[in-house]
Chain A
Amino acid sequence: MIEARNLTKYYGRTKALDNISFTVEKGEIVGLLGPNAAGKTTMMRILTCFLPATSGTAKVNGYDVAEQPLQVQRSIGYLPERTPLYDELTVTEFLNFVGEVKGITGREEKRKRLGTVIEECGLREVQNKLIAKLSKGFRQRVGLAQALINDPPCLILDEPTIGLDPKQITETRKLIQNLAGNRTVILSTHILPEVSMTCQRVMIINEGKIVAIDTVENLTARIQKTVEINLQVEGNSQQVKKCLQEIEGVESVELIPPETEKVNHFVVRSSRGVDLRKEISRKVVNSGFVLYEISLKEMSLEDIFLRLVTRE
């Protein structure tokens, strides 16, 4: 659905994108991660034909961004960063304008599409208000509504939750998930949990290059060479530690302070990505200790992100 091949973009002498290639399949939701000025916005602007690439090609819905911009732009709903909107219009006036621009002709069709997006984006109560008077959360929804008005197969959302309060963030996230349907979505964000919550695949870019593009699970597996297991065990701490170290495959056992008389927290590391939970639980119980809790310590997306981006 979206295909980029060797995209490179220079601003003067500054290289913003460096030979980027990727494919996004139909119906996929891809999260675009990266520090500020990594090239996220530039990439989105190229895909929406706002900027031309210095070299390389990109295709959206089968249309070339350089050769067939009108067709590309009709296939895309785009929400730019900071959600610029025409403040002097009301929500309905604005959405009608966008609908006409995007080629919705016919009074009946226009009214139907308008009704649908107003319903989908929860804009009913503000539909006749001036956009200038809306709260940030509602502005964001209007931004989504204008992207959706002509029912495009692709959505490109540049930081859709930035500047919202936590409640609005959750609402917007839910809205995006609901709206995605069978659309292809690329969304950029700083907020990492957002990606693991909404996206099937993650693309991490840094300094104009793709550092990684994969599912969250695969990325975790790839980076996480040592497996960490958290344990809460009741018993003499030194005896428990000794018992754990006897298990085959265990590399190190760490007692997490504070050390107590009863339940203690241990972290067991094993090499070569082996999950030792079965062996550990059996051994602990058989040795007469009480096992309160055992869990695999999952690497958060923050950890992955920081490792990839700050890697030398």
Chain B
Amino acid sequence: MSMKSIRLLFVPVYKKELKTYFISPIAYVILFIFNLVMGFIAYTLLGYYHLMSMRASAYPYGGFSLNPTEMLGGPIFHNMAVTSLFMLPLLTMRLFSEEKKTDTIELLFTYPLRDWDIVWGKFLAVLTIYAVMVGLSAIFFGMVEIWLNFDKRAILNAYLGLLLLGASFLAAGLFLSSLTENQIVAAVMTFGLLLLFWIISWVSELAGPRFKEFFTSLSLFEHYDNFPKGILDTRDIIFYLSFSALFLYLTLRVLASKRYRG
């Protein structure tokens, strides 16, 4: 057995998961609905921006205060994050639950794979679908680019933030899917957990000065705000990476303990 074949064992799992999403209508429905909603939001925001620029043009130098990256990009990226929060639990809910329900987990666990290959393959597969999902929205920026000048670095930065945020959502979803064989339960738990990690900063005003910073820094969305502004802070990157890593690790623990309990 060569080293190469050991290291790349997650690849077949990845390919199979990806294929499964595209065979069933799940991937197409999620890609379509997400971009339908985003298209509507972007269209509306563009309309408002158009109105404002018309008004501003009535005054000399009025247009200087209009920044498309901030006024269009900002809300669009915020809405993409919120829409992802609604959509991603539906993408991750089947990952382990379905295998447990249909007993295929026994096949998977008796194939020569390490738990890590299974978790990593499944995670990368949903991450790929998510990347395609949000990536399609770039068409919008490409289209209005003819008339508007975006700060390209800020837009790219925002996409990076979106990817990191999504990875955290997906890792949490993967973990919760490994806990139950009921997909609805997995989806609801994921949605609830993500929502809690979004609004956890609300408590920071009540928590007193000492814990204010702590609760704010736990919020999934507080860390996201910097990205569309073009700010790349290593603290935000590390937060998302450790959030994802923690849940991937917890998933591995669940898989290991499931084996021991039988």
Is B16 a contact partner of A86 (Cβ separation < 8 A)? yes
Q: Tell me what chain B mostly uses at the interface: helix, strand, loop, or mixed.
A: helix
In the complex where A89-B16, A101-B9 touch, is A48 in contact with B110 (Cβ < 8 A)? yes
Task: Select one of A80, A84, A86, A100 contacting B12, CB under 8 A.
Answer: A100
Q: Is B58 an interface residue (CB 8 A)?
A: no
Q: Are A49 and B110 in contact (CB under 8 A)?
A: yes
Kindly list chain A residues whose C-beta atoms are within 8 Å of the C-beta of B111: 73, 98, 101-102
Q: What CA separation (Å) do A87 and B114 show in the bound complex?
A: 23
- A78 in the interface (beta carbon within 8 A): yes
Check: B260 CB closer than 8 A to any chain A CB: yes
- Find chain B residues with CB under 8 A from A105 CB: 5
* Cβ proximity bits A74-107 to B, threshold 8 Å, 1 near / 0 not: 1010101010111111000100011011110100
- Asked whether, in the complex, the Cβ of A78 is within 8 Å of the Cβ of B110, the reply is yes
Please provide the 3 A-B residue pairs with the shortest distance between their CB atoms, ordered closest to farther. Answer: A100-B12, A84-B103, A73-B112
Chain B 1-41, CB-CB to A under 8 Å as 1, else 0, gives 10001100101110110011001100000000000000000
Instruction: Report A56-86 CB contacts with B as 1/0, cut-off 8 Å.
Output: 0000000000000111011010101010111
B6 touches A70 (CB 8 A): yes
Interface size class of A (residues with CB under 8 A): 20 to 34
A97 lies within 8 A of B104 (CB) = no
A146 to B5, alpha carbons, bound, how many Å? Answer: 19
Interface size bracket, B side: 20 to 34
Is the beta-carbon distance between B20 and A86 smaller than 8 angstroms? yes
What residues of chain B lie closer than 8 Å to A85, measured between beta carbons? 104, 107
CB atoms of A97 and B109 under 8 A apart: no
Partner of A101, one of B20, B112, B259: B112
Q: Are A146 and B107 in contact (CB under 8 A)?
A: yes
Whether A103 and B1, one on each chain, are in contact in the complex, defined by CB atoms closer than 8 angstroms, is: yes
Complex CA gap A74/B5 in Å reads 12
24 A-B residue pairs with CB within 8 Å: A11-B261, A11-B262, A45-B106, A45-B262, A49-B109, A51-B259, A51-B262, A52-B259, A69-B112, A70-B114, A74-B1, A76-B110, A82-B103, A84-B107, A88-B20, A88-B24, A89-B23, A97-B16, A100-B15, A101-B112, A102-B112, A103-B1, A103-B112, A146-B107
Query: A292: CB under 8 A from chain B?
Result: no
Bound CA span A279–B63, Å: 121
Chain A, residue nearest B256 (CB): A52
The reply to whether the CB of B54 lies closer than 8 angstroms to some CB of chain A is no
List chain A residues, Cβ under 8 A from B5: 103, 105
CB of B30 to closest CB in A, whole Å: 16
Q: Digitize A239-264: 1 where CB-to-B-CB distance is under 8 Å, 0 elsewhere.
A: 00000000000000000000000000
| CB-contact partner of B260 in A52, A84, A88, A98, under 8 A | A52
Tell whether B65 is near chain A: CB-to-CB under 8 Å.
no
Nearest CB of chain A from residue B161's CB, rounded to whole Å: 33
Q: Check if B193 is an interface residue, CB within 8 A of chain A.
A: no
User: CB-CB < 8 A to A70: which residues of B?
Assistant: 1, 6, 112-114
A50 contacts the other chain (CB 8 A) = yes
